Every structure is written in C-alpha cells, then in structure tokens.
Amino acid sequence: MSTVTKVRTARQAVAWRRNAKKRGARVVFTNGVFDVLHVGHVTLLEAARTKGDALIVGINADRSARRLGKGRGRPVVPQGERARLVAALGAVDLVVLFGEDTPLNLIRLLQPDVLVKGADYARGAIVGADDVEAWGGRVVRVPLVAGRSTTKLLNRLRGRAQA
C-alpha cells in the first residue's frame, strides 16, 4: 500500500477495520501530533506495532494540535505532511487525521484491540482506555526514548538548549 493510500478518513478507516476484524487481525491504535518526526516517535510506533497485527495511528489535525498548547508556531509541519511521513513508516498500516481535542470518538469508532500510549501517560490519563478495556481490549504503555521530544528538538534547533 502506498503512503498516500495509507492516509484515510475516519469513515474509510472504519471500513478497513471491519475487514481486518473479519480476517481475525488484532488491531492496535495509538495517537499523537507527530510534529517534527524523531526517533522517539519511531520507537513508539515500532513498539506499538509489535502488540498486534496492524497499527492505526490517529494524528491531531492542525487546529486540534494548536489547541493542545504545544507552543507558539506549532505544529511546525502541516497535518497532511505529518500524516504522509507517519504513513511512510513500515510499522504503520493506516493513518487517520482527527480534529477533536482527543481521539476518543475515533477510538470508539475503530474499537481497537490494543491501545498504546507512551509511559509518560498515567493509566488514568489515557483517553479511551476504559472503553477499550470494556470491549475486551487492553491498554499498553511503552517506555519513552530518554531525552527525545519534539519540544527539545525544536529548542535545540532554535539554539535554546544543547544536545
């Protein structure tokens, strides 16, 4: 599947998920802004993919990302480009942009078998965790790559911090 065809609307992703379920595939979901792609993102996505047979990644649309308060001028990379970059990774099967503040509606639509977030999120702070567990799925927190974040990378590029 090409990078472009891996980027789907929520409606298309639901149909894809339905077909995956018929095949017995265990579908994993994770989400984020994925603004300047770095090794921490790739590590999270690769770890998420090992938890099932297919990985769907929800990406905050630009307006949604701005509402998260990541900082002035964020996101740096426009939503379409962020979606294509994440879709180009081998660990990722599907990418869906979402405009809400959280991916809860998308999670409820897709009903993943596994929900993955970074270990910086406490279990109680993981949006959709209760829903996923209610339909028999599981929630997995994966370790972060120490010292790697988009904010730190941007600060370094702007000359505000050392590597």
How far apart are alpha carbons 83 and 34 in whole angstroms? Answer: 8
How far apart are alpha carbons 127 and 74 in whole angstroms? Answer: 22
| Residues 61, 90 contacting (CB under 8 angstroms) | no
Tokens of 147: 């010292």
Q: Which fold has domain 3-157?
A: Rossmann fold (3.40.50)
Which residue did the predictor score with more confidence, 146 or 32? 32
How far apart are alpha carbons 14 and 66 in whole angstroms? Answer: 26
Q: Which of 89, 80, 99 is nearest to 56 (CA)?
A: 89
73 DSSP assignment: T
Q: How confident is the model at residue 154 (pLDDT cuts 50, 70, 90)?
A: low
Q: What is the DSSP string of 114-162?
A: EEEEETTS-GGGSTTHHHHHHTT-EEEEEPPPTT--HHHHHHHHTTSS-
pLDDT of 22 above 70? yes
What are the b/e assignments for 38-76, b being 16+ CB within 10 Å? eebbbbbbebbbebbebbbbbbbbbebbbeeebeeebbb
pLDDT digits (tens, 9 = 90+) for 66-119: 898 766 777 989 999 999 999 999 999 999 999 999 999 999 999 999 999 998
How is the chain split into domains, by residue range?
A: 3-157
Which residue did the predictor score with more confidence, 121 or 10? 10
Q: For the whole prediction, is pTM greater than 0.95?
A: no
Q: How confident is the model at residue 20 (pLDDT cuts 50, 70, 90)?
A: very high
